[in-house]
A and B are shown apart, each in its own frame.
Chain A
Amino acid sequence: MPFGISLGELLERAGGVNGHLQALLVGGAAGALVGPEALGTRLSMEDMRAAGLPLGSGVVMVFNRTRDLGEPIRRIARFFAHESCGKCYPCQLGTQRQTEILERAAAGAALPGDRQRLLDVGWTMTDASLCGLGQTAASVTLSALKRWPELFPND
């Protein structure tokens, strides 16, 4: 694909969406989840930056409305907990706590305050981790919290 085509055109060229488009994961596991409103965004450094999205590895994963978005979010959280080397505290502890909070929410056992816990864990990892793994370990969760607040426990 030529650099700079829009996300929407990319989907068209790939054969279009099966069913109704719900979300796109752009940039891979350390990327961000966005809704159909991002289809006009061009895959260029400038446009992605302006939209607050990472180009990341360049991967685009598409989810239609039959998918429970919580499932890929939890899978990515588990991936980071597994990949964390354990050196710096924010990532060593945060990847574990992020996974636990997401999993208990999925089990219908969310605790009051879990939404704020996810935000605090996520921003602490993003802001204070030693390397890029911890700094992006909450990227998908934080982007989804912003775009689909209804997916997450509320107080």
Chain B
Amino acid sequence: MTETVHLTINRLTVETTRGATVLDAAGAIGIDIPTLCYDPRCAPNGLCRMCVVEATGARLLQAACVTRAVEGMTITTESPRITRARRTVLEMLAASTDLSETPDALAQIAETGADIARFAGGRERRPPVVADNPMFVRDYAKCILCWRCVQVCAEDAQYAFAINFDGRGFDTQIATFFGKPLPETTCVFCGQCVGVCPSGALKPLRAWELEHPDGPAA
């Protein structure tokens, strides 16, 4: 038997099944909570914090993608406090990486009135393009570190474990172990990482070549 729980989101009463997240429950009644790293095909991690909401009784904002709906919970999805967090994350992200092919981020920047030049002048992540195989190109200057590629390469789908995180803090980057070219790793070229990439950082080689007639892809 499926157990149901009742919660209040933006003053609306919602009934959902036990185990559902706040993001699921809000979506079911048409309340759109913004997300960047979240992909329903992958395990949620609460990384981008765009989906943060206020929950009564919680000291800090809670990421809706990983917060389970519980009986009697009261959620607010829009407030000045929430907007400040979302807008500031977008502004800092825009100063760090190339968001030109991340449509979700561009839409949220417009919606929150984020000033993409606000943190300009600081360090940016602009690693060179990696074209080390005949299947796809990795342009980590466009990577938003959503983790989806690492997850589908691991327990979310393929169990190939060819890629992982390198470095930490601002210097975190997706990489192969010891920075080896993909053909020398456990990569099976299934293409699932390319399929889940939300930011144009991973592209089929042919698509890359059409966009860059004189490009570096070999």
Contact = CB atoms under 8 A, between A and B. Distances in A.
Interface string B107-137: 0000000000011011100000000000000
Contacts of B160: none
Interface residues of A, number: 30
Contacts of A127: 52, 60-61, 81, 84-85
Overall SS of chain B's interface:
loop
Given A84-B168, A88-B47, A128 B122 contact: no
B165 interface: yes
Interface string A123-134: 110111110000
Identify which of A81, A89, A111, A135 gathers the most chain B CB atoms within 10 Å of its CB: A89
B145 A92 contact: yes
A154 to B, nearest CB: 17
Contacts of A129: 49
B171 to A, nearest CB: 7
A75 B80 CA distance: 31
A31 interface: no
A87 to B, nearest CB: 6
Interface of A: 81-90, 92-97, 100, 111, 113, 117, 120-121, 123-124, 126-130, 135
Interface of B: 36, 45-49, 52, 60-61, 63, 81, 84-85, 87-89, 92-93, 95-96, 118-119, 121-123, 145, 165, 167-172
